[in-house]
Amino acid sequence: MQNVVLFGPPGAGKGTQSALIIEKFHLIHLSTGDLLRSEIAAQSPLGIQAKSLMDAGILVPDAVVIGMIASRLEAHPEAQGFIFDGFPRTIAQAEALDELLAGYHSKISRMISLVVPEQELKQRLMLRGKALGRSDDNEETILKRIHEYQEKTLPVAGYYKASDKYFEISGVGTVEEIFGRISQLLETPTI
């Protein structure tokens, strides 16, 4: 079973690359951002609670996203592996994920971190805001999301470095070039 954490700041290309990875490697895509946006669209109590935080670019509480991931893992007993996109974003989430996977006699194989300069992140997200109108793709919220990433999420890289699971690649270039770099890593067996 290959369980991959795709890591990187807002706009790094996690969602874009996940779409290609699931097709080639037959993994199930779990994006907490996408799951939360579905809850908002369904106007569920969870969605209503999350919306104001997401619109402000602030992380939603750990318990909320951990609960969502737990139920998605349970829903896919047939999975050959998962790609986690936008999760874990705090050390508490990383610890909870390890515990959840241990319950299935499984674990994280690798974290792949996409490195993109801040100026490019802002440009990509402003462009997407204009094209798709995602409510958190405006200048103020983009800055807040990058700040949250630096404060709360970057330490998660250290968590995976400590167990030699951390791999960094450049997230700059064409989508195909970046996918080539990811594929090369995923085709290398883990120890």
Structure tokens at 67: 């609960």
CA distance 181 to 191: 19
Of 94-102, 105-113, 168-176, 182-190, the window that binds ligand AP5 (rule: CB under 6 A) is 168-176
CB of 46 to ligand AP5, least distance (A): 12
Q: How many CB atoms lie within 10 A of CB 167?
A: 18
**Runs of H (alpha helix) within 57-174:** 62-75, 91-102, 118-132, 139-148, 155-161
CA distance 28 to 120: 28
Which CB sits closer to ligand AP5, 139 or 164? Answer: 139
Residue located via tokens 């779409």: 19
Closest among 138, 157, 141, 140 to 58, alpha carbons compared: 141
Residues 4-33: x/- map of binding to ligand AP5 (CB under 6 A)? ----x-xxxxxxx---------------xx
Which CB sits closer to Mg ion, 15 or 47? Answer: 15
* Interface with ligand AP5, residue 53, by CB under 6 A: yes
Amino acid at 131: A
The DSSP code for 5 is E
* Interface with ligand AP5, residue 175, by CB under 6 A: yes
CB of 189 to ligand AP5, least distance (A): 26
Give me the active site residues, please.
Answer: 14, 89, 128, 134, 145
Residues making contact with ligand AP5 (CB under 6 A) = 8, 10-16, 32-33, 36, 53-54, 57-60, 65, 86-87, 89, 93, 124-125, 128, 136, 145, 173-175, 178
